[in-house]
Every structure is written in C-alpha cells, then in structure tokens.
Structure 1
C-alpha cells in the first residue's frame, strides 16, 4: 500500500502543469469607508485564501490574472470580483442583515475563531485550509484537535462504537448536538452506544460519513438552540457548508503511519464543480480512505500466567467510500432549485476480547491456540435534500425535503458458537439496525428596513419530520443455544452440568424476538425575530412549538442580545429553554449481549424501555430531557490584528436519559421473584434517571500580523473549561435502594469524563512565499475513570504537539509533510484486566496510538 502511495505521488509530480502566480493587494471596507477586519478573501475554486487584518488589508497569491476573488464577511453580502489583470483591489461590502439568521452565517478563515458580531458564540472552521496543514483525515478527529469544545475519541472493544466515533460538544451527550448540512437537519446514526468511554446510552450523528474534501467550512454554534432548530440542539449546532466552486478540479493524496509501523492511512479525494446555466452549478466530491489497525495490547507472555483480556487492542481496520454533491439551478430571476446529498459505504473490522485455548467458550479442535473474534461492520449511509427557494412578495421563501437513512449490519468472523461444538461455523451474520428520517420544511424570512432605526428581521416556518427505526435478526447460529454441555467438578465433590455459551462469540446476533419496526412523527412551528435598535444594539427572540405523536407538546423560547460599547468591545448573551426527545433507538433497542468484566463474559438482557419487564419493575416510560441554557460573553478587538472572545455558559438538564447497570437476583433480591417469573437472569434498561449541571468557559484569542517582506504570522489560543455535576439518582419505587446499580459511581465517572476539565489549543501559523509551517499544541486535562475494582484510574494531563511544513511546488501542486503527537505522548498505563476496554490504555484524551507521520500532495487543474 505504501509503495502505491509513493508511486501515485511521483506520477503527480511528473504529470502536473505549472503556471505563474499573480499577487493581489487590497483593502476591504464597509459603505462608510471603515475597514472590515476578519473578512475571508479567497480565490474561487481553490484552497488559496487569507483573512483581512485589523485595517481591512489583505495580500493574496492568485493563480493568474483572470482569477475570481471571493469576499465574505459576517453581516455583509458576499462579493465575487474578477481580477481582469489588476493587482490592486478596493472592495466595499454592503450590509446584509439576513446573514445573521441562526448559524447560517458566512464565515472567517481564522483557525478556531468565534464570529464576533453575533449575539451567541460561533466557531468558523475553514476545512480546506486546515486539512492542508494537519494529519487528521476524518472529520471527527480533525475537529477533535481544532475545536476545544468538541470531543471525539476512537473507541476499542466497544462493539459498534469501534466503527462509528461518538462526538460531543461541551461534554454533553452525542445526541444533544444537532447537525445540519447547508442549514438542513442531518439524520442520526442508527447505532446506540453501549460501551466505551464516550456517549454511553446515546445515539448521535456520524460525521465521518461526510468527506472533508466536500466541505467549504464548518460553523459550530456553541449555545443551546432547541427553540430555533428543535430537538437535539441542547449543547449546540454544527452546520456543515458544502463547496460550491466550479470549473476546477482539486484533489489530495494522503498517506501516513505511526512510529510503530502500524495504523497506516491512505486516502484519495477529488472535487470538481461545473456551471449549469446562468448562475447555476453542481459540485461533486469523491473520497476514499483506508485506515489500518493499530495494536497497543500487552504481550501475554510478558505478564506471566495472568493472561490479559485482549491480545489485540487498538484502532479497528476501516475502509471508507464517500461521495457528496451540492447543486443549484436557477429557474427564474427570483427562484432556484437546489439539492445536495451523499453516499457513504464503510467496512470495518475490530477485534473483540480474546478467548484463550482453555476458555470454556473455545472449542480446541477449531482454535487450538484460542481465538480473537472479529466484529465486522457493513455500514451504509444515504441522504438527499431537494428544495426550491426564492422571493415571493418581498419574502425569502424556502421549501425543502430532506431524507436520510443509516443501516448498520454486523458480521462476526474468526469466531464460533460453542454450543455447536466442532460443527460450529466460524462466521455469522449477526443482524443489525436501521434508521431513516424524512424532514419537510417551509421557511419564510424578510428584513424590514424601516422598522426600528436599523431594521427588523422576521423569520418563521414549520417542519414535519417522520422517523423509522428497525432491528433485524441475524442467522440462527449467531444467537441460539444448541444445548451442548460438559460436566465440571464442584466444591461438594460432585459434578455440575455446565452448558456451553450460546451465540457467536464476540458479538451475539440479534434474535427474532429482538426485531422491531417502529415509527413516529413530529410537527414543529417556530418564529425568530431580530430587532436592530441601532448599529450597536440588537436583540433576538425565538420561540418553537413542537408536537410528537408519542410525547405530546412542548414549547421553548430563546432570548439573545448584543451590545457594542465601541468598535473594540461588545457584550453578548443569551438565555433559552430546550428539550430532547428520546431517540427511537433509546426507546426500542433491545438485545441479549455479552458483557466482559475482568476478562469474563456474562450474558445480559438489555430490554426495551416499554417492555413487560420494565413495567413489572415499575420503570416509567421514557420522557423528554428538558434544559435551561445561559451564556454571557465579550468580544473585543483592542488592537490591529488582535481578536478576543470570552463566553461563559450554564447548562442544566433535567431527566437525562442513561443506561442502567445490570440487575439480577443477587444484587437486587427485592426483584428476584419478578425476574424468575419473567425467566430473566440479568436485565438493564434506558431510563430518565439523572439531572446534570454544566458550567464552562470558552476563550479564543487570535493575533495576526503581516511583516515587511511578505511574512504572515497568525497565533490562535483557544480554550474550553468545563465542569459537569450530577444530581441524585432517580429510581423506580421497587429499586429505590439500588441507586448504586441504577447509575453507579463508575458510570458517573464515565459521564463526567465525556470532556476533560480543560482543553487548550495553541496554534502558530507562519507563511512566506511558497513556504508555510504550522505548529500546534493541544493540552488535555486530567481525567479519572473508576475501574472494576472501584479504584480511580488517573490519566494525567497530556500535551500533544503537531508540526507540519508545506511547500508550493508550483501554482497547482503543493506538498505537506508533518507529524502529529511529535513527542509520543500516551495516557497513563493501567491494569488491562480492570479497564473497560481491556487495554493498558483507555481511549481518553488524545488517544493511544502515539506519534504519527504523514504526507499530503494537493493539486488542482
């Protein structure tokens, strides 16, 4: 694979065509002549881009004298200017009040920079520029090291979470963040996380289905937005804006591996856009990424007779195919049809816990040396959004329908069903689950210039959403017990009949009794009013009413404001209520599965929340999570090229949904008779058991300077400080004395560790001529997790250092080499037999793969 990568890179070097560059200098002002700092200035259809400094000035290297330069600034209408041979430009941006609707804002190319003119904190992440200087290739990992409030760790030994990375904002659940594409709701994954150090009991959106090469920018609204966008927006909103460039092919060839020689990554992607009619376009992206395994397991030979739980511990093997398109076709002078969508197919292979030769779950005639089951995934993800928008009697009208489906199919290889003895197959179809979602929306917006001194913007609309969730069974041998047994001596001198373990080892399949096919509907109506009392003071008021066919009604509101004391200082703040309806997976998911504790497998039943078992135990049906959000911050530009934003936040969530611990006759004797009557040995379930309170602070400082001689330097310091507290555990009446099982201290430690107490990012970017270098330090604070002995495993603070150097070989070919985790930082070692993941490192903070070397060729034609 490495040889193929090298050959492709050499071929690109030989085959590309060179061309001269054209340097453009200029300034950007508003219609009063005041300079506008922080405006994104870039060549259309390329990755070349800069940001205006404190005086509104810029210097850009364009491809040629006929290039088209795009100017984008928050609160201003985007402009495209053809150079036509000019080397100096003076551009005036006109105000566009409608650019401040929610998170659908035009952005800045500053790394990790909050948009300073909005009443709520928004990060703008320019993906094209960032991907040219960092080693991360998938979207989750890229954002993990860019945005301090965003956290995502690759899991291992976590079943489905080995294949879909859970991600969080501000330490809340993966399902408490809403993801949009081009401002439209994105469907979630069908996976509900059961294991791992992130997102237990939560569903979430699989960001890695979206190729980074298709993205122009990512906007992260770090504020509660359920009143504006509906369920899932308690922690905030991530809006992914797709590329719209035309008449140019851009691409990347990526490769890398760890310092231990594993975890090789090879990626190819290409993006091309072409015009359709007058003002229309279609932009298409294709992406392929291969990720090899890593192994950081202890050697069983070196630890003596006490065998470690896993002979293989590390990243799963992954092969990811993605395609994305974004299109717009004008149909009249005032109306257009638009569409976007994507295709993703992922194949994963992750090792489960080891079954050694003498293990009761092994058949020595099949595996004389024991075996390591492999959980294989086939994940398909499809989406399509189609809409029409335009002007109607002074109103901007947008009618849209967006559909998405995610299907997760499990297979288990190099395994067996011990109850079949020597006749057992070694590969099983284990079944899986599927989620599809359809959202139809009608939206109206209009700006009234003569209402209030600086105008009023009114937005309102309605959305109707349907969802369907399915679980489909695996083949019989993946779950059935066939009755094989053996006789084992007991302490009384006799023998016991011990039945062989049923189902495919590593991951037992879904049974026909687990199968579900459930749907629900949701109708939402909202209004959003923005009052601009002056150029210095504005207030935004939003309200949303929603009706679920299975949860009834809810009404939520939001109030936000911004007051600018001077061009150098402004205050902003918001307060809102929110909600999150439980996902269909949390309501209906059920399975019989294997839980490994201290290296031993125990069969458990995870029952659906509305089952006979939960009713007998007195467990209430799941209800909505309710939240109160508040934020207060300042934005400042105290000097030329210097930008500062500081935002504090408070998030209180009531009736948070959690996954309970295991109840059986021994640890909960008060329900022993109930379990016996129901023929259940061990049971767990989803329930509204917890109230949480989160306090935090986001701070971002950016300084940029252009020195004499064409030296450009940018420094960005971004930090998130986060503290989560949990309240008393709320149980059913029958289990009132079992709070330690309902939600244990161990589970509490995993919830709190969803985000480190602090995460600090310092990025230094330097450019001169054809050279650029990027140096980044990310500090992850200490994390504590309770192990199976009830002792806290402490993971001390770690600093990860990334370094890259880039060179523009020609105008259409650039090369970057670099290293992530330069100083080979690892989490603290722990006892593998007592950790949740069965390894000496837990998948916390920055991961456990050590130093990674990478190289990237970027080209355009």
Structure 2
C-alpha cells in the first residue's frame, strides 16, 4: 500500500490484523528489576509502558551487555547479543572495509531504521557497490556512536514505516543515550588476535619449486581502546553527559600463499631466483588498520513551567587503511622501475561524521508536545597509496587524492501526544499526531587529475593501458554531483486497551518526496492476554523505503580498452541518458507488506517468546550487473553515445519474500550462595526467496543473448548469503566481586554464490564460543580478561578455483568474519 492507496486497501489491512502479545526483552533479567521491566519508547508512544506491556517484540540490550564483550564496536556487540542481527566483515571491498553494514532478519542494511533517542540518525555517504552483503545499499554507520554514551539499545523486530517513516521495513534500532548528572567511568581495553588457520595446498607453475605451508600462525590485529564518560549537573535538575573514545586498531592479515609467478622469466627461460625468497603472503585480507577519535555529548535542562530542553552532538574522525589485490612484479599494470617486487595498492579513506540535535518538550493543554531539529553529515574522502597510474609511466606519483562523497540530512519533528477518555474502552485512548520535514543532500567530488587521467604511456607492443590510480581510479569532474531533495510527512498513532485482555494499536503515515512522489503506510497490531502466563501478539502492515540520494546520484567511471580503443565503463545515475536508453527509470520507493504472529509464555521467572514473520517486498532497488556485452555496446553506439562501452545502474524490480521465526527463552536464577545466573537461549530462522527479477524492454529486445540485469550470483546472495539460522546461548553469572559471561553462537550454513553452480561455495555451520571473567578489585575498579572465538573457528577454505590469486582463502560472506581468536583484557574505573 505504497502509492495510490484506496480506502478498500485500508479496510483490508484492518480485517487482516492479527493478535499480538506482550513484548519480551531479549536479555534475561530478574522480573521487575531488569531490562524486561525497563520503560521502552520504541514501537509505542504510550508513556511508562515496559517491555512486557508493548504490542510488538522489543529486545533491550543494556550498557553492561555492550561493555562485557571483547569488541568495542557497537555493531559487533549487538550482533553478539541478537541472533536476528548479522554483521559480516568483508575485505578487499574498497570503502565497505571501513564502513561495514549490519542487517536485521536477513534483510538489506538500508531496510533497518536507526534512531538516536527516537530521532532519525543520518546514513553514511558510502553506497556499497562491490560484491558483499548489502550490495547497492547506503546504511547508517552505527560504529560512529561510542558504547560509552549508550544507556541501552532497543531493537524493535517489526516493520514500523507507519510509525517512523522510510527504512523501517525489517525493524528499528533505537540507541538511548545516558542522562547522568553525576558519576562516570573510564575504561581501557587492549587485545590481539592469536590464531592459526589452514591453507589450501595448490601447485606452483610448471618448473616452480615454492610450496605453500599447510597452516599459518598469526598474532596481529592489536587493538587499544580508551573510553570515558562523565555525568555533570546542569542547574538543579539538568544534566550533561559527555563521552570520548579513542581507538587504535592494527590490521589483520589472513591471505593465502600466492602461488603465482611473480617476476618475468630470465633470458634463459628459467625462473628468477627471487621467486623462492619473496614473501608470498602479500595481501591485506582481513580487518583494516583504523585510528578513530569520537566525542559525544547529551544534555537536558528543565526551564520550569513544564518546558524542557534537550540535545546531543557528536563528532568522529576515522582514518583507515585496507588493501586491494596484489600486483606481481610482472603484472602489466606494474612499472618495474617503481615497484621491482610488485605492489599492494592501499585504499585509505578518511571519514568525518558530525551530528547535532536539539529539541524542546512542553505542555499545551492536555497535549505533551515535542519539537526537535537535527542535522547530520557523513563525508568520506579517499587517498590511494602505494599505487601508480600506469598510463603516466615511470614519472607517476604513488599516492593520489581520489575524491569522495558526502551525505547530509536536516530533520524537523513536531509531535503531540495525549490521552482521551473514550466510553467503552478499558483504558484511555493514547493519541499521537505529528509531522516530519526532511532535507537530504548528496555530494560527489572529483579527485586530483592524476588519479583519473590518461597519460601517454603504452604497454609493451604498443597497446594502451587503463588510466587512473590502480585499484581505485579517482572520481572525475564529469562524475561530480550536488543534489538535494525534500520530504514531508504526517502521521497519526492510536493505542488503547479495548478490553482488559485486548490491547490494540493503529498507525497511519503519509509522506511526500520531491523526487519520486507520495507514500502511504498503515499498521494494525494487537495483543491478547489469555492469562498472566500466556498471550498472543501480532501485526499486519505495509511499509516503504524511499530510494536514497546515494542510489539516485552515485556515479563513477573507469576506462577499458576494446581492440585498442578506450571506452568508458560507468555506474550511471538512473536518469542518465545512457541508462535511460538501456531502460532505466527514475527510482521509486520499495513497497512491503509485513505480517507477524507470536506467542508469549511466562512462568516467572522463566519465559518463552516465539514470533513468526513474513515480509513481502516489491520493487527492491538493486544495482544491476555490469552490462558490457557486445550487443549492449553496439546498441549504445546505435543510440548515438560515442565512446561508451557499457556500465551499470540502480533499478527497481526485484521482488522478495522473507519468512522466519524468532525464539527467545529467558531464565534468571538465584543460586543461593552460588550467586545469580541469567540464562538466555535465542534463535533466528530465516528464509528468503527472490520471486521476480527486473527486465527492460530495450535489453530484452537486443539481438543474441539478452543481458541479465540481476543474475544468479546476486539472486543467490539475497537468498543464501546470510545464515539460514543463528542460535545463541548466553550465561551471565555474578557472585560478590566475581562475574563471568559465557556465550556460544551457532551460525547456520551460508552460500557464497558463483557465476555458475560449479563455482558455488557453501560454508557449513560453525559454533563460536566467547568467554569473559571479571573481578571487582575495589568498588570502583574492576578488571576483566576474555577471549572471543575461544576455539579459533574459521569458515572453510576456498579451493584454488575460487581463490586464483591466493589472496582470499576465505569467503567474504563468512558471517562471523575470518580473523580467528581475539584475546583481550579490560580495566574499568568508576568515579
């Protein structure tokens, strides 16, 4: 129900509404004292509603849960705590190595809405265009938020476009900030990878004598994080909570043994002796180098008369370095006089992220009013190091400014909430009305000329060579973009108990976008408590996700030579004349229909929640395949576009159906003299099917084999590229000054699809165990030691057919990464 919505459709939604039950928090807690009893604000606008009272499943992740893990990345910590959230860690994927996206319920990264204190967070400027999970998406980078400023995280596992607007197809992640007036904590964490992994023993070229080892030991990835938060009083009851974090992360390197011939043969035809002495572990395949500084502040003040001010601001600077593919000395892209032993080009982006939000709450008669204005900007600029522009020749520079892009967002919100006494209802009717106005901008800026220009140098024999910096040609002036759009929306939200046992809610939201038109989304949900021990809950809704400015405006160009003639291969904007000639159209919103049905069983303190869901999406936005076939080239030329060899573009047209079940079992126990034990088992089981792929009349009518816009590799990546199930068992124990956390996570099988069935690569199930022990030396000082991936699990090693260079022994779709065991120590000092 996205566009041209009729009254009949709304009525159909109402008739199809399901019962829904009391939400249950993911994290186990003693009843009435833990997260389950915490007041939640996500998915409901009723004041003082706890996680056990809401009409949709909400997981609550506490600050202690985030702290008591080996990772200081908030996204990684969430993926450990939530089976429905996945955080793969791809490598050799350009900017995606630095800004890695997370997914919820197996959906795309940009189909989950991220909020800070219930206000929309700005997305990153990066659009993922390489072969990793989330290809074609531009998502929020949650790692711009330090864990020290976070009081709790609420994860709504339910579509909520009618409540919050675009992007909330698979759910909502709401990070709630600390509001402390006093106290604070300093923390220092240091850890490293201590690991061993197996290698595939492939053969050297005929006549070669070098041999790969069977396995390799590594100690790397040393990571130091220093963080601090402090609460300060503002006036009699105001607060200012500030947090700072510095992170220094060394790279991990999990390359294979490069069996390729590295040097030209000698005049005698023999191998160069250096073939037997060169280091053949020559790739940076793993986590990037990272230096990151973050500041965050959250403040609030009571002005009296029911008027309160609030606001927060953040800034992060992230400098990263990751590798491309190694170029051997004899590679045609190399210049021997510059790199006699070959070279590994380095992609070194700098990310600047800024946000500021301010607001006021007040009473207007019976209305609780809230108005806010927020601004956020993410900028990513690329420096390409240890490389060259082969077309310039021996005088080429080895470092280049390749340009970059920026995204910014300005959001104004106005909301009013009041309770109405309505005859016949068992509770007051909670009415929320509001509007949101948003302005988004996207800028793409060019690099220095040498990063993209074509020089006079030719290859031996006279053939031309591709211009631009090797591994990442710079953005060109012709790629530059400075685009903006506006959106305005209004919503109404109703919630009440129809009877003491039946809670029902309804929401309706209409939005207008300046670039693609109108959207209307509705949601109906309900919960029926048959007894204190058993309830049913459910919802039905439609939703939407607006095309992002990144998808609408990203463009990049590289030059390929065909029979010695240069042709431009471009990622075209959907409105570019070449893309239009190939059948592209202005992007429209993705449309979804979600349905869920769940049960809650409580036998205090033991509880079980089971929630089944189905998400149908029409017109998903995808990045097409590279269209460089001969018939495409000939067609482009026939349309009058000279020098264009092909390209790709974003297009609507993929339909998917995702079905799954979330199960959570919680059991907090008091063990008398043995302390307190919180035990949680949770699982997510998801299946996605692609039911339609896009076509265009123009491409379908070409002579010969019609080009495929979305081929089997990308279809199977949507269907099988994330774990078919993820099950975790968590045990938290505390006795006096002692504490411990045990966590075991089983990841189901995952497919890294190939261009044909013969190249499909399945990764079998793996169980990763994490363990941490803690001791409070004094009431203020505590120490912890632990290990993530205690048993040093890795995915299967790819065979040589899928790892022809030796650089990538493990698939990028491995759901828990491929860096091995991480051992760490942490000191916390409260004040």
Indicate the residue corresponding to 2:258 in structure 1. 300
Q: 2:717 & 2:548 partners in 1: Cα distance?
A: 21
Kept in 1: contact 2:485–2:513 (CA 8 A):
yes
One of 99, 102, 105 as aligned partner of 2:44: 102
Q: CA deviation at 1:602?
A: 11
Q: CA deviation at 1:674?
A: 3.9
Kept in 2: contact 1:579–1:626 (CA 8 A):
yes
Q: CA deviation at 1:740?
A: 6.2
Q: 2:553 & 2:504 partners in 1: Cα distance?
A: 42
Q: 2:49 & 2:244 partners in 1: Cα distance?
A: 25
Indicate the residue corresponding to 1:799 in structure 2. 767
Q: CA deviation at 1:450?
A: 5.5
Indicate the residue corresponding to 1:45 in structure 2. none
Partner of 2:412: helix, strand, or coil?
strand
Partner of 2:478: helix, strand, or coil?
helix
Indicate the residue corresponding to 1:30 in structure 2. none
Indicate the residue corresponding to 1:23 in structure 2. none
Q: CA deviation at 1:278?
A: 2.1
Q: 1:204 & 1:105 partners in 2: Cα distance?
A: 30
Aligned pair 1:265/2:223, yes or no?
yes
In the superposition, relative to structure 1, how do residues 499 and 429 fare at CA in structure 2: closer, same or farther (>3 Å)? same
One of 302, 308, 322 as aligned partner of 1:350: 322
Kept in 2: contact 1:578–1:626 (CA 8 A):
yes
Indicate the residue corresponding to 1:13 in structure 2. none
One of 432, 435, 446 as aligned partner of 1:473: 446
Indicate the residue corresponding to 1:401 in structure 2. 373
Further displaced range: 830-839 or 240-249: 830-839
Partner of 2:644: helix, strand, or coil?
coil
Give CA-to-partner distance per residue, 1:458-503, whole Å, 9 cap, x none: 0010010001100000000000111311343xxxxxxxx3112211
Q: 1:675 & 1:657 partners in 2: Cα distance?
A: 26
Indicate the residue corresponding to 2:285 in structure 1. 313
Q: CA deviation at 1:116?
A: 3.6
Q: 1:103 & 1:320 partners in 2: Cα distance?
A: 36
Q: 1:657 & 1:771 partners in 2: Cα distance?
A: 50
In the superposition, relative to structure 1, how do residues 351 and 833 fare at CA in structure 2: closer, same or farther (>3 Å)? farther
Give CA-to-partner distance per residue, 1:702-754, whole Å, 9 cap, x none: 00111222511111001100000001322110212767631010111222245
Q: CA deviation at 1:134?
A: 1.3
Indicate the residue corresponding to 1:284 in structure 2. 242
Q: CA deviation at 1:298?
A: 1.1
Matches within 5 A, 1:61-80: 74=37
Aligned pair 1:338/2:306, yes or no?
no
Aligned pair 1:821/2:789, yes or no?
yes
Q: 1:386 & 1:788 partners in 2: Cα distance?
A: 50
Indicate the residue corresponding to 2:159 in structure 1. 224
TM-score by length of 2: 0.88
Q: 2:630 & 2:174 partners in 1: Cα distance?
A: 48
User: Once superposed, what is the RMSD of the aligned Cα atoms?
Assistant: 2.6
One of 455, 459, 469 as aligned partner of 1:486: 459
One of 646, 665, 681 as aligned partner of 1:682: 646
Matches within 5 A, 1:687-766: 687-709=651-673, 711-736=675-700, 741-766=708-733
Kept in 2: contact 1:37–1:52 (CA 8 A):
no
Q: 1:813 & 1:37 partners in 2: Cα distance?
A: 36
Indicate the residue corresponding to 1:80 in structure 2. none
Indicate the residue corresponding to 2:55 in structure 1. 119
In the superposition, relative to structure 1, how do residues 104 and 473 fare at CA in structure 2: closer, same or farther (>3 Å)? farther
Total equivalences in the alignment: 761
One of 811, 817, 823 as aligned partner of 1:847: 817
Matches within 5 A, 1:17-416: 51-53=29-31, 56=32, 74=37, 102=44, 115-126=51-62, 128-259=63-194, 260-301=218-259, 311-416=283-388
In the superposition, relative to structure 1, how do residues 678 and 225 fare at CA in structure 2: closer, same or farther (>3 Å)? farther
Q: 1:270 & 1:645 partners in 2: Cα distance?
A: 36
Q: CA deviation at 1:198?
A: 1.1
Aligned pair 1:626/2:598, yes or no?
no
Aligned pair 1:590/2:555, yes or no?
yes
Kept in 1: contact 2:25–2:57 (CA 8 A):
no
In the superposition, relative to structure 1, how do residues 309 and 417 fare at CA in structure 2: closer, same or farther (>3 Å)? farther
Give CA-to-partner distance per residue, 1:17-69, whole Å, 9 cap, x none: xxxxxxxxxxxxxxxxxxx99999xxxxxxxx99434xx5x6xxxxxxxxxxx
Q: 1:103 & 1:594 partners in 2: Cα distance?
A: 53
Kept in 2: contact 1:157–1:196 (CA 8 A):
no
Q: CA deviation at 1:593?
A: 4.4
Q: 1:72 & 1:176 partners in 2: Cα distance?
A: 26
Q: 2:318 & 2:629 partners in 1: Cα distance?
A: 41
Q: CA deviation at 1:657?
A: 0.7
Kept in 2: contact 1:276–1:282 (CA 8 A):
yes
In the superposition, relative to structure 1, how do residues 105 and 254 fare at CA in structure 2: closer, same or farther (>3 Å)? farther
In the superposition, relative to structure 1, how do residues 826 and 38 fare at CA in structure 2: closer, same or farther (>3 Å)? closer
Partner of 2:219: helix, strand, or coil?
coil
Matches within 5 A, 1:477-626: 477-488=450-461, 497-593=462-558, 604-626=569-591
Partner of 1:664: helix, strand, or coil?
coil
Partner of 2:233: helix, strand, or coil?
strand
Q: CA deviation at 1:120?
A: 1.0
In the superposition, relative to structure 1, how do residues 291 and 226 fare at CA in structure 2: closer, same or farther (>3 Å)? same
In the superposition, relative to structure 1, how do residues 375 and 818 fare at CA in structure 2: closer, same or farther (>3 Å)? same
Partner of 2:773: helix, strand, or coil?
strand
Gaps of 5+ in 2: 1-21, 195-217, 263-270, 561-565
Indicate the residue corresponding to 2:828 in structure 1. 858
Q: 1:714 & 1:360 partners in 2: Cα distance?
A: 60
In the superposition, relative to structure 1, how do residues 73 and 742 fare at CA in structure 2: closer, same or farther (>3 Å)? closer
In the superposition, relative to structure 1, how do residues 648 and 836 fare at CA in structure 2: closer, same or farther (>3 Å)? farther
Aligned pair 1:784/2:751, yes or no?
yes
Q: CA deviation at 1:163?
A: 0.5
One of 394, 397, 408 as aligned partner of 1:422: 394
Indicate the residue corresponding to 2:213 in structure 1. none
Partner of 1:453: helix, strand, or coil?
coil
Give CA-to-partner distance per residue, 1:629-652, whole Å, 9 cap, x none: 111101121x22101111000100
In the superposition, relative to structure 1, how do residues 338 and 840 fare at CA in structure 2: closer, same or farther (>3 Å)? same
Q: 2:294 & 2:639 partners in 1: Cα distance?
A: 47
Indicate the residue corresponding to 2:777 in structure 1. 809
TM-score by length of 1: 0.85
Kept in 2: contact 1:833–1:839 (CA 8 A):
no
Indicate the residue corresponding to 2:609 in structure 1. 645
In the superposition, relative to structure 1, how do residues 275 and 602 fare at CA in structure 2: closer, same or farther (>3 Å)? farther
Aligned pair 1:441/2:413, yes or no?
yes
Kept in 1: contact 2:786–2:824 (CA 8 A):
yes
Kept in 1: contact 2:733–2:740 (CA 8 A):
yes
Q: CA deviation at 1:448?
A: 2.7
Q: 1:577 & 1:517 partners in 2: Cα distance?
A: 32
Q: 1:100 & 1:487 partners in 2: Cα distance?
A: 64
